[in-house]
Every structure is written in C-alpha cells, then in structure tokens.
Amino acid sequence: MPPAVGPALARLRDPRPLIAVEMRPPQVGLSAAQSMNTWIDMYHGVGRLAKRDTIVFITDNAVGQAEEENLGHLASNLANDVSPAKVVPFLTAKHSLDYCLKYAARAVSFGFDTLTVLGGDKSVGPPRCVEYAWQLRKEIRERVPGATLGGWANPLHDHSAQVDYLLQQEFTAEFYLTQIVSHHNIREVERFLAEARRRGVTYPAVFGVFHYMSANRWTLERLGRFFPVPIEGVTKDFAAGLKPEEMTARTIRALRDVGVEKVYVSNLGFKRPDERYRQIVEALG
C-alpha cells in the first residue's frame, strides 16, 4: 500500500511549475574545519531556499564520490529552521542493505518522509547492495511503509525501455527524477515524454538541469564521465555571450515548451545557492 500523501509529494503533484534544487553534502576526507564550513554554508543556503516555493534534494554519494551522510546533519541542524517537507534526501544502494533500511527508518522518524532511492553509479565506488534500485525501494516499502519514495529514469536512453521500467509493478515509487538534460537534446526529451504519455505513465517527474559555470573543456569532459554533456552546444552558448543563469533558464524554458513543468537544478554550489537560484528565476522572466 502506498504511503499517505505528504507535503512534498503533494507539491510534486501540484500542476504549478516547480524549480527544485539538488545540493551535495561535503565529500568524505575533508578536514574537520573544511567539513564544518561547508555544512554551515549548506545550512544557510538550504534555509534561504526553503523560504521559496521549492524543494531541496540532498545527494548521497553523487557520481560515485563518497559524501558525508546527509541525514544526521540535516536532522540536527535544520530541524528548527526548515520544514522537513522542503528537503528530500537521496539514498543510493551503495551501502549495506542494513544501513539503507535503518537510514530510511531514521529519515521518517526525523520527519523526512520522502526519499529518492537510486541505484548509484556501478562503475565507481563500493558495490550496490542490490542489483536494481526498485529492489531497495521494495525492501524499504515493506520495512518503512510510511516513506514516500522516488525513482529514476533517463530520457536520453531507449525511451521504450525507460517507460517499461516506470510501468513495472515493482517500480515502487510515487515520483521519479531524471538524468540531466539540456535544451541541446530537447528532442530526445520530447520523444521520451510522448512515449510516457502514450503508455499512461502518471507519476510526477522532475527533470534534471545542470547549471554550467564555464565552457572550460577539461571540466566539461570530466562532467561527461557522469552524465551526457552537450559540450559543443555549451561551448557555443558561452561563446555567444550567454551567462550561466541565462543558459539554465534557456533549458528550463525549452522543457516547459514540451510540457515539463518541474525541474531540479544541480550545481548551484555551497555558497549562496539561493542567489544563483534568484538569478535563474529572474532570467526566466
């Protein structure tokens, strides 16, 4: 049985447009001072963002890089300032099954009743505790029935196969996030949407948008190891004089033009992500 509809899921089902944010905890291995400073910046950023009509997704071992656990810090430092309904932690299968199940139970007990449960990059880092993310979501649903769960799809891969995943009875999720997309591959997104609509996918979807800071080719190629980067298109956009927030706004507008009303923006940084968010919203007009 699916969980009750909490505030986060209600907002995802709301037809109004949503610009959510994805943020990363500090990487494991920083000095105590560096870690503390990064968390402080993050708390301030999340607190300011939470005053807007948004949701903040907090990653777990993003792109295979070990990150400090998000849950303990969020519970102890944001509890009095930010509603848990505004924050949706990620949980990947790149931990032991016991850890994942305990994590989900702790999250719900702290008030974070919505989790995005992903498999995690197989090519780097520790192995997954299960082969597929739906298997972990199924385990969590059985052990922690109060949790609202999100899944994953990639609009840039085989559209029919991706929709197959979303329609499987075992999908065990109430919404899904997508891989990073861009106005440079919007036709692929459009074809994915057409397939999903044709076959009756009803889950709310939140499409990923990356906030590119520069056209540095080394950086773009490195990012391309983790998600599809339209290097030539990004380079041309910067060469044409577009500012980062204008490029991000261009992708959001392109997505809205094909019917996507909800996105999450990644790579707003630790320091004043709310300011970059504001600039993107203003660039949208």
Mind listing the domains of the chain with CATH numbers? Answer: 7-284 (3.20.20.220)
Give the model's pLDDT for residue 1: 66
DSSP the chain: -PPP--HHHHHHHSSS-EEEEEE-PPBTT--HHHHHHHHHHHHHHHHHHHTSS--EEE-SSGGG--B--HHHHHHHHHTTTS-GGGEEEEEESSS-HHHHHHHHHHHHHHT--EEEEE---TTSSSPPSSSSHHHHHHHHHHH-TT-EEEEEE-TTS-HHHHHHHHHSGGG--SEEEEEEE-GGGHHHHHHHHHHHHHTT--S-EEEEEE------HHHHHHHTTTS---HHHHHHHHHTT--HHHHHHHHHHHHHHTT--EEEEE---SS-HHHHHHHHHHHH-
Give the model's pLDDT for residue 271: 82
pTM: 0.92
**Residue pLDDT tens, the chain, 285 long:** 677 788 999 999 999 999 999 988 766 555 666 666 666 777 777 778 888 899 999 888 655 556 556 677 677 666 567 788 889 999 999 999 999 999 999 999 988 899 999 998 877 778 899 999 999 999 999 999 989 999 999 999 999 999 999 999 999 999 999 999 999 999 999 999 999 999 999 999 999 999 999 999 999 999 998 899 999 999 999 999 999 999 999 999 999 999 999 999 999 987 889 999 999 999 998
